Structure 1
Amino acid sequence: MLQSLLFIGGLGGWEIMVILLVVLVFFGANKIPEIARGMGKGIREFKDATKEIKNEIESGVKLEDKK
């Protein structure tokens, strides 16, 4: 599953652990949940926007088919 993600496709377990350790040291333990919440909200908004665009395109195609 991790390899299917585009941005970490070539990273192994040790590299990911080093990155997480650097993030922990850089931001501190108190900021990490706040950052994760912000990322989660951003991803959710992106998914909602893509669903809206997809629905608009599908409804436009259905209207064209009725003509």
Structure 2
Amino acid sequence: MFGPIGSTELIIILGIALFIFGAKKLPEIGKGLGKSIREFKSSISGENENEEQAKLKENSKDTKDKPS
């Protein structure tokens, strides 16, 4: 029913966005959207790194507590 967006649909969407927001505002919106996406990706990868670091610390504590 709804497939991936083709080039014709993309041009129509960009034309409507240009008409609504204007030529001066569109680059600012794109810049803000790109910044938001980068921050979101870095926060997700940061959470994964924090979880991995916590596991490593936990494992190192376990090995230090056990006598050899």
Shorter-chain TM-score: what band?
A: 0.7 to 0.9
Shift of 1:51: 2.2
Shift of 1:37: 1.1
What stretches of structure 2 of length at least 5 have no aligned partner?
A: 63-68
Shift of 1:48: 1.9
After TM superposition, what 4+ stretches of structure 1 lie above 3 angstroms from structure 2? none
Larger radius of gyration: 2
Q: Please point out which of 56, 64, 67 is paired with 2:58.
A: 64
Provide TM-score, normalisation by structure 1. 0.77
Paired letter, 2:52: E
Q: Please point out which of 31, 35, 41 is paired with 2:29.
A: 35
**RMSD, aligned CA:** 1.3
Q: What are the equivalent positions in structure 2 for 1:48-63 lying under 5 Å apart? A: 48-63=42-57
Identity, in percent, stands at 39
Structure with the greater relative contact order (CA < 8 A, sep ≥ 6): 1 or 2?
2
Q: How many residues align?
A: 59
